């Protein structure tokens, strides 16, 4: 009969989520956390590998980016007395620039080598210059008087010269050829044999 209502279809089935079932948003957040954690683990592993490699390297043989380039010029006052020294005025001579500090144990280790080399080359057109690094003037002066030497010791209170040379620890020693270019660098206490080899090579280069 036309007056009868149409037959009803099957009732709609609705699936209820169990309270303990994970939500889609929760699963997405967990995946994102796992990805982030994996990235952190990878970064830590890479840093550890780089650190381990660095610890196997001898820092004394690391090549300075300044080698082969003109040495940064400086004009610094003498540590204990009037006067100053400008590096550019020493052009034509071999210059050994030694960064040190009174609190540095290895500086005491290398000091006899510096003294012996200075006595050997001081009359051959070789100039030694000592520059304290992150040291108080009074402590530097006391150290110099205790240890002796004879070569010019300068004052670099702001460490501007040390920063220009890329110094990050002491002792560090730079060898500058007669043209004013950095020919070599030693990180750590310098040995007498190494000093004499470097200076002799630069003197021979000057005379050739």
pLDDT digit string (tens) for 22-36? Answer: 555 666 666 777 666
Give the H or E element holding residue 203.
Answer: helix 192-207
Instruction: Bin 77: left if φ > 0, else alpha if -120 < ψ < 50, else beta.
Output: beta
Supply angle C-alpha 148, 153, 155, rounded to 5: 135
Q: Are 156 and 78 in contact (CB under 8 A)?
A: no
Q: Which CATH number is 60-207's, of 3.40.30.10, 3.90.550.10, 3.40.50.300, 3.40.640.10?
A: 3.40.30.10
pTM over cut 0.75 = no
- Residues ≥6 apart with Cβ < 8 Å to 72: 66, 87, 161, 164, 165
| Per-residue model confidence (pLDDT) at position 207 | 82
More confident call, 6 vs 154: 154
- Mean pLDDT along residues 31-59: 51
């Amino acid at each position: 009969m036309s007056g009868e209502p149409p037959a009803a279809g099957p009732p709609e089935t609705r699936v209820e989520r169990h309270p303990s079932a994970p939500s889609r948003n929760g699963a997405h957040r967990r995946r994102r956390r796992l990805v982030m954690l994996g990235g952190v683990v990878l970064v830590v592993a890479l840093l550890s590998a780089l650190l381990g490699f660095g610890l196997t390297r001898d820092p004394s043989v690391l090549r300075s980016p300044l080698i082969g380039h003109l040495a940064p010029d400086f004009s610094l006052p003498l540590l204990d007395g009037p006067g100053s020294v400008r590096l550019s005025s020493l052009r034509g001579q071999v210059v050994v620039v030694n960064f040190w500090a009174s609190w540095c144990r290895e500086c005491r280790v290398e000091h006899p080598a510096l003294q012996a080399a200075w006595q050997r080359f001081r009359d051959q057109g070789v100039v030694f210059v000592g520059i304290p690094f992150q040291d108080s003037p009074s402590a530097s002066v006391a150290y110099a008087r205790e240890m002796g030497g004879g070569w010019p010791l300068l004052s670099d209170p702001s460490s501007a010269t040390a920063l220009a040379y890329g110094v990050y620890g002491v002792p560090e020693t730079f060898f500058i050829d007669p043209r004013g270019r950095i020919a070599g660098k030693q990180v750590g206490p310098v040995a007498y044999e190494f000093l004499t080899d470097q200076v002799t090579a630069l003197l021979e280069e000057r005379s050739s």
